[in-house]
Amino acid sequence: MTAHFGTAPGSLADAMAAAGTEIDAVLDQLLPRPAGPEARLAEAMRYAVLAPGKRFRPILAVASADLFGARREAALRVAAAVEFAHTYSLVHDDLPCMDDDDVRRGQPSTHIRFDEATAVLAGDALMPLAFEVLARPETHAEPAVRTALMLALAEAVGPRGMVGGQTIDLAVEHQPADIGTITRMQQLKTGALIAFACESGAILGQAPDSQRQALRAYAHDLGLAFQIIDDLLDVEGTQEATGKKVGKDAGLGKATFVSLLGVERARNQAQMLADQAVSHLEQFGERATFLSRLARFVVQRSH
């Protein structure tokens, strides 16, 4: 996590970098160490997770926990669970039978560096690890809170969440899709886990339902803005900056926000969504400054 966040002011970049460093340390600590005849599995899990990622989702989880004064250890454990879930989805999405991507986070994808079977298994092992981290008392003294976290994560990554979204993503490679389908795809594929990250602080802090709803609304707009920019970077970005192949969607003739709206309208839409995301944070006042600035950052990012 380096500190060049486009036009974001220095202090936001510094805060993100500092959170990223803390998150990386906890990821390292929670991942299994290679040992025994199954050592290769732990190696692949560590390779995929500890690669230099943006840590956008876990940073959202930490920021959300901050809003409710949650213990730092709790916040970082939830953040780690989010990053394990996210990384597993990247490892599986990159497989030859899925999106067939050779480069991820600026390094060979897990199935290239290891092999396909090991990549499938590394993803398979990261998912239960996320639940294991949430299930332990270190995450929260109250079992009801841990259960609520696990239920929300399970919904976010399951058939009505992330995996459902990836299913639609594969389907639209072969058939025309309208903006409604693309929006639903993104809400499931990336939006659901982003929403979990944003809501997790409210769950940890046992906040009133209205606050959890506000964060969900923030996440909804933020997630779509994030994805529109991702689509723009696929058109306008470079592999060097994004750490993954670009120009893929256009090459496949795949419907995206950019192909459906055009570059300019897509950028305006992302900007509008970011403004709207910020408006949902009003009730939190100054405490939500970091989350507001994060929403602005999302539409200005270059990777």
Contact positions toward a second copy, by CB under 8 A?
32, 36-38, 40-42, 45, 92, 95, 97-98, 115-118, 120-121, 123-125, 127-129, 131-132, 135-136, 142-144, 146-147, 150-151, 153-155, 157-161, 163-168, 170-172, 177, 181, 184-185, 188
Distance of closest approach, residue 236 Cβ to a second copy, in angstroms: 28
Distance of closest approach, residue 21 Cβ to a second copy, in angstroms: 25
Rank residues 180 and 285 by Cβ distance to a second copy and give the closer one: 180
Rank residues 9 and 158 by Cβ distance to a second copy and give the closer one: 158
Distance of closest approach, residue 152 Cβ to a second copy, in angstroms: 9
Q: What are the CA-CA distances from residue 144 to residues 163, 193, 194 (Å)?
A: 26, 21, 22
Distance of closest approach, residue 170 Cβ to a second copy, in angstroms: 5
Q: Give the list of residues 6+ apart from residue 250 with CB closer than 8 angstroms, or none.
A: 234, 235, 259
Tokens standing for residue 161: 């969440």
Distance of closest approach, residue 249 Cβ to a second copy, in angstroms: 17
Distance of closest approach, residue 86 Cβ to a second copy, in angstroms: 13
Rank residues 8 and 119 by Cβ distance to a second copy and give the closer one: 119
The distance between the two most distant Cα atoms of the chain, rounded to a whole number of Å, is 54
Beta partners for residue 108, in sequence order: 103
Rank residues 147 and 276 by Cβ distance to a second copy and give the closer one: 147
Q: What is the 3-state secondary structure (H, E, C) of the chain?
A: CCCCCCCCCHHHHHHHHHHHHHHHHHHHHHCCCCCHHHHHHHHHHHHHHHCCCCCHHHHHHHHHHHHCCCCHHHHHHHHHHHHHHHHHHHHHHCCCCCCCCCEECCEECHHHHCCHHHHHHHHHHHHHHHHHHHHCCCCCCCHHHHHHHHHHHHHHHCCCCHHHHHHHHHHCCCCCCCHHHHHHHHHHHHHHHHHHHHHHHHHHCCCCHHHHHHHHHHHHHHHHHHHHHHHHHHHHCCHHHHCCCCCHHHHHCCCCHHHHHCHHHHHHHHHHHHHHHHHCCHHHHHHHHHHHHHHHHHHHCCC
Rank residues 3 and 171 by Cβ distance to a second copy and give the closer one: 171
Rank residues 181 and 279 by Cβ distance to a second copy and give the closer one: 181
Rank residues 196 and 297 by Cβ distance to a second copy and give the closer one: 196
Distance of closest approach, residue 174 Cβ to a second copy, in angstroms: 11
As a whole number of angstroms, the distance between CA 45 and CA 42 comes to 5
Rank residues 17 and 98 by Cβ distance to a second copy and give the closer one: 98
Distance of closest approach, residue 145 Cβ to a second copy, in angstroms: 8
